[in-house]
Chain A
Amino acid sequence: MTVSSKDRSIVRVASGQGFWGDWLEAPRRQVEGGDVDYLMLDYLAEVTMSILQKQKERDPNMGYARDFVGAIESVLPAVAKRGVRVIANAGGVNPPACAAAIKAVAAKHGVSSDVRIGVITGDDLLPRLDELIGGGHALANMDTGEPLSTVRDRVLSANAYIGSVPIVEALKQNANIVITGRSTDTALTMAPLRYEFGWAADDWDRLAAGIIAGHIIECGAQCSGGNCLYDWQTIPDLANVGYPIVEAKADGTFVVTKHPNTGGRVSIPSVTEQLVYEMGDPNSYITPDVVADFTSIQLAADGENRVRVFGIKGRPATDKLKVSIAYRAGFKAVGTLVYSWPDALPKAQLADRVLRERLDNLGLEFDAIVTEFVGVSATHGPLAGEAHDPPEVQLRFGVRGPDKASVERFTRELAPLVLNGPPSVTGFAGGRPKVEEIVAYWPALIDKTVVQTKVEVLP
């Protein structure tokens, strides 16, 4: 079957996954609950690429979001027979391997001829890193200004955030499953709108509208009742929460909604909460395609569980792409113990002092030691005020440093406190804390011209 661009006045893009680890049921519910044209699945967070890179080092056929294979299997009838097209950044650091896995699933279900997989590569800068640094690209840390050369030998992955252009190209070549690597989350939604409506590369207002539509639905149900503080007690049926759908028009206006007979709520407050989520300067939301202005967004109620979005303005894109770099940055471990009433807090505080003195006596040095008293001050610190003899307090103690042996030695110091520290202590059944290698995030910029993406649609 050839998928062709239909003449559509409204294009529906459904969000089926807000991060790797999101609700496995959501993709299927989105294609079965009502009409949708596109299913958008966002799998990549800042550190996900480095985890995938480690997996690829162990096995060259890995390095992509494996949940995506199950997701495709759950929506395959809709994709193969009903013309729903899927766009996902599930490719991670190995989009071709991801495509091969999807091809195998299609073959298993006898629908190979109905599936055309578009694969987008070129975002992975790891193989080119030394060439780039040698060529004068410092890839300086956007937060600290340090050049990447200071941590070059510890870099695990480096990927440019790419925009909508290659996804649009894959759709033009009739792909009905488009797999990208480190594409921006928002491009996954904007690209199908740009493709369907033929928005020009300098149609800044409409491109910005597509980006903002993407921002609203990129975190899945977080705009349709999930994690919604406004009137949270009255949000119905979260067990069957409806994931969001954008119904867009060619003029760049759109409605945010969800399928009928689902839980959750799409309202002006729920959409506004998502709009401000992870927001920097709202005047300049910078993406590879356009700079969107969040201060131009207008919202209006449009019936039950429908919010109309309009008025959006955009400006020309910059000549840079953001680069997501991950590097090894030492080790950490976090352990907990629980102290009970009476005087749970003073007991936990004494345990903290004893533990710190013992680590000090052992001569262990760390970059950071963080103590939290869960139940008292872990989430709001001193803003929470005085505690009034709570029934229990969890002592949460973490260390971080470059020396793995020191962090490991710390993990042996927690359990002894059960018998040789303050009384009324429990909650140690989980055993010793686990030592974790820290893979830290290094944001940088690079000239757009350096990054060449490639689109391939598998026959």
Chain B
Amino acid sequence: MRVCLLDIAHARSGDKGDTANVGVIALKPEWYPVLSKHLTLDRVRDHFRGVITGGVERYELPNLKALNFLLHGALDGGGTLSLKTDAQGKVFSTAMLRLVLEVPDTDAKGLGLPVTAHWPVDSEAPKA
């Protein structure tokens, strides 16, 4: 099944220079394995292609049911240099939550993952 990250996680983001960090936290502890298995480095790199200019790092915090991503080259130089509205990366959190995961039915079984009602981008919605 396809699951929008918004429906299974919450997030907060911030900055360090030209890098935005996004912490992604499972809405329910039992959903963390879905994040740790399917919210991969490659998946996040693809999601932010064309949005950031640098690489991505990924860290796991199973104790907090959270993943931390560092998005390099995300802030047009960052801090005072940046000309962007979001110079400090405050809303990369919600940009991350637009991501749609492919979760095999075997991994989704018994977890009660929510069926997404509205898709963050129309093109992501299942075809009727």
Chain B residues with CB under 8 A of A443: 17
Picked from B17, B63, B80, B83, the residue with its CB within 8 Å of the CB of A298 is B63
Q: A269-B25, A385-B123 are in contact. Are A438 and B80 (CB under 8 A)?
A: yes
Is there an interface contact between B122 and A294, defined as CB atoms closer than 8 Å?
Answer: no
Chain A residues with CB under 8 A of B79: 46-47, 440-441
What is the chain B residue whose CB lies nearest that of A294? Answer: B61
User: Is B33 part of the contact surface with A, judged by Cβ < 8 Å?
Assistant: no
Is there an interface contact between B61 and A379, defined as CB atoms closer than 8 Å?
Answer: no
Chain B residues with CB under 8 A of A281: 57, 59
User: Is A295 part of the contact surface with B, judged by Cβ < 8 Å?
Assistant: yes
What is the chain B residue whose CB lies nearest that of A296? Answer: B63
B39 CB to closest chain A CB, in angstroms?
14
Interface of B, helix, strand, loop or mixed by DSSP: mixed
A329 vs B10: C-alpha distance when bound (angstroms): 36
A367 CB to closest chain B CB, in angstroms?
9
Chain A residue total in the interface (Cβ 8 A): 52
User: Is A278 part of the contact surface with B, judged by Cβ < 8 Å?
Assistant: yes
A87 vs B112: C-alpha distance when bound (angstroms): 47
Q: A381-B51, A385-B123 are in contact. Are A372 and B85 (CB under 8 A)?
A: yes
Chain B residues with CB under 8 A of A390: none
Chain A residues with CB under 8 A of B11: 229, 273
Interface of A, helix, strand, loop or mixed by DSSP: mixed
Is there an interface contact between B51 and A334, defined as CB atoms closer than 8 Å?
Answer: no
A378 vs B90: C-alpha distance when bound (angstroms): 12
A438 vs B78: C-alpha distance when bound (angstroms): 12
Is there an interface contact between B83 and A278, defined as CB atoms closer than 8 Å?
Answer: no
Q: A278-B15, A385-B121, A396-B85 are in contact. Are A272 and B76 (CB under 8 A)?
A: no
B88 CB to closest chain A CB, in angstroms?
9
User: Which chain B residues in 36-79 approach chain A with CB under 8 Å?
Assistant: 47-48, 50-51, 57, 59-66, 68, 70, 76-79
| Chain A interface residues (CB < 8 Å from chain B) | 46-47, 143, 227, 229-230, 269, 272-283, 294-299, 311, 329, 332, 334, 368-370, 372, 374, 378-386, 396, 398-400, 438-441, 443
Pairs across A and B, CB under 8 Å, 6 listed = A230-B27, A275-B64, A277-B21, A368-B83, A383-B47, A438-B81
